Structure 1
Amino acid sequence: MGAGRLAALPPVRAVPHERVAEALAGTPTLVVLDDDPTGTQTVRDLPVLTRWSADDVGWALAQGTPAFFVLTNTRSLAPGDAAARDREVVRTCLEAARRAGVEVAFASRGDSTLRGHFPLETDVIAEETGEPDAVILAPAYTDAGRVTLDGVHWLRDGDELTPVAESEFAADATFGYRSSRLADWVAEKSDGAIPAGDVAEVRIDALRAGPVRLPDARVIVLDALVDDDLRAAVLAILAAERAGARFVHRVGPSFVRARVGQPEQPPIPDAELRDAVGRGHGLVVAGSHVGRTSRQLERLADRRDLARVELDVQRVLEEDADHLEQAAAHLEHELGTRTAVLATSRTLVTGRDEAESLDIARRVSAALTGVTARVVAAGPPAWVLAKGGITSSDVATAALRADRAWVRGSLLPGIVSLWAPTSGPPLVVFAGNVGDDDALADVVDRLEAAACA
């Protein structure tokens, strides 16, 4: 398909977030099943659960917010395990909602670069809730330049557009793909069970002309370049639901912000950040292996005097316990005087197939998490920053045991979210595939300034 440039487009039709907020009155609470923690980057002041007992779900429902997140971390699981986990979460939420007298709807939040278990996750939700009229497919993440135009998903850099299937993300060892047109991607990922002819597109011309009418199709693809486009679609979805339609959503981070009636918001102010973090120095935990993360780690090391402890992936796979103990001891010592980085060796180790690659990723993440847990138990850092989706999930659940938390906002415009767990140190969730080369260093600078103020 090749890279291209944005052509002349119809002007943006302003759809204020207040209109969506008003339209939410009396609608179901949206339960966002997040396949890794980075789906929270665009929103603030919403609950997030990393555990889904009936009590935890009841707590989230009792907050009265238009949505809450449940961190399933299914992107790190094999298909059968992912399906079983989704099924358990949906059943628990349905039962908790019944007891609370609350109606719920479900969204499966996936990666804006199209990695993850699709259509498996929306299939499970549909089986548990009853067949929907359609699956809404809206992977856009406008803040990070992942946009959909003319039914094609793109990576945007200014006016330059690169088809997502021509990016490094499409070569993912576990979730690779060949198609940038979302109708073709749906057919590809479903092995033909959902042919491209069963996928309809709501294109930018229709979204910006308004009012929007949703087509009759098994899967409905939404174009989106800005949040106004998504809010226009959300108003149509809510109107259809009031008329009796039912949908399951497979979406990126921007759709959630539009769906809950929140505007694009600036990063957390410095004064608020000072109140949110502890005093002293912080710990960066980096498991992501994409090139962007490696470059960000290099730039961070160039800009700050920090301690770096590296876990050798080969030694981790050989179950070298001494290696992990030495890493933990070194970090505990260094955190008393400066920021510390715990990272894996940068050479990506993959398996012979998707299942083995996932197993390697889980074992490496478990090692990172185990070392982090020891360090936090010895003396909680002022903050913990987790770099990478699987890493963020494992740090939140296993190292910090942040069963319940609030998403407080972002540290950079529309990316990098700050969680305030109900107990334990604050957690910064930083996806592996977002931000420019200076983004990690910029975030650490903000955190250190706040923690040492």
Structure 2
Amino acid sequence: MTTAPLPPVRRVTAADVRAALAGARRVVFLDDDPTGTQTVRDLPVLTRWTVEDVRWALRQDTAGFFVLTNTRSLAPADAAARDREVVTACLRAAEGEGAGLVFASRSDSTLRGHFPLETDVIGEVLAQHGDTVDAVVLAPAFTDAGRVTLGGTHYLRSADGLTPVADTEFAKDATFGFTSSRLADWVTEKSAGRIPAADVTELTLDDIRGGTTQSLCDRLNGVVVLDTAEDDDLRAGVLAILAAEEAGKTLVYRVGPSFVRARTGQDATPPIEDDTLATLLRPDAHGLVVVGSHVGLTSRQLARLGERRHFAHVELDVPAILDDAEDHIHDAVARAVEALGSDLVVLSTSRKLVAGADEAESLDIARRVSAALTTTARRIVQARRPAFVVAKGGITSSDVATVSLGIDRAWVRGSMLPGIVSLWEPVSGPARGLPYVVFAGNVGDENSLADVIDRLEAL
């Protein structure tokens, strides 16, 4: 698919954003799975949200921090309840620290997740605390992975060109499927008509690249779609957002990973350095890869890993999990622990997707399978600590972090590949110091998983 020539880029640097961040509110990224961390480095991550945990994050000298909510794995009512709990705790902590906050609902760059539920809940909690949301900024772009918004329509860029997101496998998601690629129409679809497309403001590349910070700031009302072809476009939008917030407006963001980098004033940086990796890895152990994602790209990456190197594959059969999980888990743990003594171990679920009759049943099956996978991973790590853990898939990454490894506070140390796949350093809990790699199901090419493993094992 082709588009009209784009207007010249309006150059806005990360340094420009950092200058505008002086005195700005700290941003809390409510991450519905852990993959929002892959574009940044040196930001705190919380998987718990007690007031004391949030106060710890606020005491770090950063423009913002992540709270891992994992709401994409929850039913709508449970997701709403969790968001209310997190936002309330953050506001209480901020009051104690004398800090101002702004909230971002960080979700999928291919539009899967609870929208507008999550931004609605944030707005409701803010209203209970005397604040009114003036605008919801919708910026799902992930430039490093080729997810861009042009003329208000969201695309996936590949070697074959631009594909409207509604024409991809992600739009057929059993829980979060959709039919609209134009984001204004997608908002109407997801809000069941409550928010008409005509009421959505589209800040196109013509507006962003040909306008000024003030002209963009003046249009930040209601639901606003932010075009993005590259990071300069996002940073231009962020300057307008910061100006609006400085003028007293309250905004909520629904964003993909690239916005996180822009809003915190970070440049796109090279992958984490080998010297840093070497300080984290154990040379006398083998790694564990936990694969839960069912998208086609993950299956191809797993197949390519097998073509490039030997590994011990321990597979959890989904029908067996649904029939008798405990016996199946026990056998899998025994096989994996033995294999870790001599080789890389890949723990995965069977690749055939088992879906329910409706959204609720599909979510229930997904939760049961995820619980079996993370329980198995937890028992493996307890029995034999690996050199590193890689989790493949967004929800899987969240569950492995919290259930399998017991991570409650961590630092994002950087990416393993350019702009994608983040490495965390846990700083508390039983996994303290164990390198943890968060690898989304829908990023990279067929070699990316094998490339990450090669980097981890070369040191």
For the superposition of Structure 1 and Structure 2, which TM-score range results when normalised by the shorter chain? over 0.9
Are positions 1:239 and 2:243 aligned together?
yes
Query: Which 5+ residue runs of structure 2 have no aligned equivalent?
Result: none
Contact 2:141/2:258, CA 8 A, preserved across alignment: yes
**SS of the residue 2:195 aligns to:** coil
The structural deviation recorded for 1:5 is 2.0
User: Could you tell me which of 427, 430, 433 is aligned with 2:439?
Assistant: 430
The structural deviation recorded for 1:216 is 5.1
The structural deviation recorded for 1:96 is 0.5
Match of 2:191 in 1: 190
Query: Amino acid of the residue matched to residue 56 of structure 2?
Result: W
> Percent identical across equivalent pairs?
66
Listed one character per residue, the Cα deviations across residues 181-213 of structure 1 (whole Å, up to 9, x for unaligned) are 000000000001111011001111121123142
Contact 1:116/1:175, CA 8 A, preserved across alignment: yes
**SS of the residue 2:458 aligns to:** helix
Are positions 1:46 and 2:55 aligned together?
no
Which whole-Å CA distance do the structure 2 matches of 1:158 and 1:69 have between them? Answer: 32
Match of 2:451 in 1: 442
**SS of the residue 1:47 aligns to:** strand
Which whole-Å CA distance do the structure 2 matches of 1:158 and 1:98 have between them? Answer: 49
Are positions 1:55 and 2:56 aligned together?
no
Are positions 1:108 and 2:105 aligned together?
yes
Contact 1:282/1:340, CA 8 A, preserved across alignment: yes
Are positions 1:334 and 2:343 aligned together?
no
Match of 2:306 in 1: 301
Which whole-Å CA distance do the structure 2 matches of 1:192 and 1:218 have between them? Answer: 15
Query: Amino acid of the residue matched to residue 40 of structure 2?
Result: V
**SS of the residue 1:406 aligns to:** strand
Which whole-Å CA distance do the structure 1 matches of 2:204 and 2:109 have between them? Answer: 18
Match of 1:139 in 2: 140
Are positions 1:219 and 2:223 aligned together?
yes
Query: Amino acid of the residue matched to residue 266 of structure 2?
Result: Q
Match of 1:420 in 2: 425
* TM-score, normalised via structure 1 length: 0.97
Match of 2:393 in 1: 388
User: Could you tell me which of 48, 61, 75 is aligned with 1:78?
Assistant: 75
Residue range with higher mean Cα deviation, 143-152 or 276-285 = 276-285
Structure 1 residues 445 and 216: CA distance shift in structure 2, 3 A: closer
Which whole-Å CA distance do the structure 2 matches of 1:173 and 1:441 have between them? Answer: 28
Query: Which 5+ residue runs of structure 1 have no aligned equivalent?
Result: none
Listed one character per residue, the Cα deviations across residues 45-98 of structure 1 (whole Å, up to 9, x for unaligned) are 000001111111111111121010000000000000000000000000000100
Query: Amino acid of the residue matched to residue 367 of structure 1?
Result: A
Contact 2:325/2:372, CA 8 A, preserved across alignment: no
The structural deviation recorded for 1:276 is 2.1
5 Å matches for 1:153-232?
Answer: 153-158=154-159, 160-212=161-213, 213-214=215-216, 215=219, 217-232=221-236
Structure 1 residues 295 and 121: CA distance shift in structure 2, 3 A: same
5 Å matches for 1:2-13?
Answer: 4-13=1-10
Listed one character per residue, the Cα deviations across residues 352-391 of structure 1 (whole Å, up to 9, x for unaligned) are 1111101111111111111111111112101000000111
Contact 2:340/2:384, CA 8 A, preserved across alignment: no
5 Å matches for 1:15-26?
Answer: 15-26=12-23
**SS of the residue 1:84 aligns to:** helix
Contact 1:110/1:250, CA 8 A, preserved across alignment: yes
Contact 1:17/1:262, CA 8 A, preserved across alignment: yes
Match of 2:263 in 1: 259
Which whole-Å CA distance do the structure 1 matches of 2:325 and 2:261 have between them? Answer: 43
The structural deviation recorded for 1:158 is 4.5
Which whole-Å CA distance do the structure 2 matches of 1:117 and 1:224 have between them? Answer: 22
Listed one character per residue, the Cα deviations across residues 328-369 of structure 1 (whole Å, up to 9, x for unaligned) are 011111111110000000000000111110111111111111
Residue range with higher mean Cα deviation, 275-284 or 300-309 = 275-284
Task: Please list every run of at least 4 consecutive aligned residues from structure 1 whose deviation after the TM superposition is greater than 3 angstroms.
Answer: none
Contact 1:6/1:160, CA 8 A, preserved across alignment: no
Match of 1:149 in 2: 150
Number of aligned pairs?
Answer: 447
Match of 1:369 in 2: 374
Which whole-Å CA distance do the structure 1 matches of 2:91 and 2:421 have between them? Answer: 30
Which whole-Å CA distance do the structure 2 matches of 1:277 and 1:18 have between them? Answer: 33
Structure 1 residues 14 and 158: CA distance shift in structure 2, 3 A: farther
Which whole-Å CA distance do the structure 1 matches of 2:368 and 2:273 have between them? Answer: 37
**SS of the residue 2:425 aligns to:** strand
Match of 2:62 in 1: 65
The structural deviation recorded for 1:254 is 0.3
Which whole-Å CA distance do the structure 2 matches of 1:302 and 1:364 have between them? Answer: 27
